[in-house]
């Protein structure tokens, strides 16, 4: 699939390219902790200062209000310039918490939070998964009881990315005592500095503390922080997943097209060799994924199940690309850039945001119309 771009779009591309060339940091971002927060916020604030954050966000909340095509052009130029990975600690706020507040929040919530997100002032994390509720999110049990004009939260979340450096959390809790499954949940904005919150970081196999357990002990959250209505949280959470599984990963998917070209350049395969064939096939698959991503983003009306197709294809393809890098580069992978790190991290791409099996279930039921497994 090709974008049909106007002359004005190409001018936009040229301006973005020039700005990124002059401004994209050359040093590598710190992987985690306070240093990663400082780095990510400084970079986002710099983008914002020059009008390069919130490309497609509405202008009244600090965005540029531009088309999805321009957003894609920005991402193309962004990855081309090898600007900092989009999967840094601003990811949740920019890609699904902010968009959810925009789609479902009150005017006050939007006016307060959205400009702070785009201006690089705050980090958000997500508190959905629990030890007993991951794929089966509706089984969640963290409770929030109404007490006057507040909710009082007790329970535990797990795998909350960037929770150790976050200011706010998109938190899904059970607000209707005794309610079951999808009923009686609420999506609330939790101030991570609230009394009663304990964050315990978890180190992943790449040696990075990307996520954390979060414990809530009588944490008081104003009722005015509920987004999308009290007890209506499942609907709001599905809006979040809509963004998380579809638009959130565009930057990551486009990053893969740069990675495969880098790998081909490093590998220098002999024409016709098994390595050349393997890399050629991967390059073709990456191009296919890119087309799927563009179609998912530009399709009108939007198709909610596109997200699962793109998410699943990306996760499995990323693993094949980084596996090939390990096989082909061998020990050189340790010397050339971040291949080893990317390889280890790629295992999480078929888990985060819903596992590959769950995406397959969604595709089977909602796209192929197959019967639901009881």
Ligand X SMILES: Cc1cc2nc3c(=O)[nH]c(=O)nc-3n(C[C@H](O)[C@H](O)[C@H](O)COP(=O)(O)OP(=O)(O)OC[C@H]3O[C@@H](n4cnc5c(N)ncnc54)[C@H](O)[C@@H]3O)c2cc1C
Q: Where do contacts with ligand X occur on this chain (CB under 6 A)?
A: 125-129, 134-135, 159-161, 210-211, 348, 351-352, 354-355, 357-358, 361
| Residue number, 329 or 359, with CB nearest to ligand X | 359
Strand partners, 168: 124, 191
Minimum distance from CB of 233 to ligand X (Å)?
13
| Residue number, 133 or 223, with CB nearest to ligand X | 133
| Residue number, 308 or 348, with CB nearest to ligand X | 348
> How many angstroms separate the CA atoms of 362 and 307, rounded?
10
Query: Is the bond preceding residue 301 a cis peptide, omega within 30 degrees?
Result: yes
Q: Which residues are catalytic?
A: 244
Minimum distance from CB of 80 to ligand X (Å)?
26
> How many angstroms separate the CA atoms of 371 and 230, rounded?
32
Minimum distance from CB of 18 to ligand X (Å)?
34
| Residue number, 135 or 291, with CB nearest to ligand X | 135
Minimum distance from CB of 238 to ligand X (Å)?
14
The structure tokens 């497609």 sit at 56
Nearest residue to ligand X on Cβ basis: 134
| Residue number, 272 or 371, with CB nearest to ligand X | 371
> How many angstroms separate the CA atoms of 285 and 257, rounded?
10
Minimum distance from CB of 312 to ligand X (Å)?
11
């Amino acid at each position: 699939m090709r974008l049909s771009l106007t002359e004005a779009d190409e001018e936009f591309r040229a301006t973005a390219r020039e700005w990124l060339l002059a401004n994209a940091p050359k040093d590598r971002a710190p992987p985690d902790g306070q240093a990663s927060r400082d780095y990510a916020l400084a970079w986002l604030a710099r983008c914002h200062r020059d009008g390069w954050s919130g490309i497609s966000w509405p202008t009244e909340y600090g965005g540029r209000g531009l088309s999805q095509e321009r957003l894609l052009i920005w991402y193309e130029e962004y990855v081309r310039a090898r600007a900092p990975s989009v999967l840094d600690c601003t990811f949740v706020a920019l890609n699904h918490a902010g968009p959810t507040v925009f789609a479902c929040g009150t005017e006050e919530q939007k006016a307060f939070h959205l400009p702070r997100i785009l201006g690089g002032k705050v980090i958000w994390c997500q508190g959905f998964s629990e030890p007993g509720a991951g794929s089966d999110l509706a089984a969640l049990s963290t409770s929030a009881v109404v007490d006057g004009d507040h909710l009082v939260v007790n329970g535990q979340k797990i795998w909350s990315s960037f929770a150790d450096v976050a200011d706010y959390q998109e938190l899904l809790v059970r607000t209707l005592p005794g309610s079951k499954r999808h009923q009686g949940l609420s999506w609330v904005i939790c101030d991570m500095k609230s009394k009663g919150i304990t964050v315990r970081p978890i180190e992943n196999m790449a040696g990075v503390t990307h996520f954390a357990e979060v414990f809530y002990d009588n944490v008081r959250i104003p009722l005015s922080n509920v987004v999308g209505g009290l007890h209506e949280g499942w609907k709001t959470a599905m809006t979040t997943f809509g963004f998380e599984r579809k638009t959130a990963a565009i930057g990551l998917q486009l990053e893969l097209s740069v990675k495969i070209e880098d790998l081909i350049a490093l590998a220098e395969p002999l024409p016709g060799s098994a390595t050349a064939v393997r890399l050629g096939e991967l390059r073709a698959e990456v191009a296919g994924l890119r087309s799927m991503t563009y179609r998912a983003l530009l399709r009108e009306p939007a198709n909610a199940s596109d997200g699962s197709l793109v998410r699943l294809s990306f996760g499995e393809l990323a693993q094949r690309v980084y596996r090939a890098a390990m096989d082909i580069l061998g020990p050189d992978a340790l010397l050339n850039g971040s291949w080893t790190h990317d390889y280890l991290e790629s295992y999480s791409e078929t888990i985060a945001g819903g596992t590959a099996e769950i995406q397959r279930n969604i595709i089977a039921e909602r796209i192929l119309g197959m019967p639901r497994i009881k």
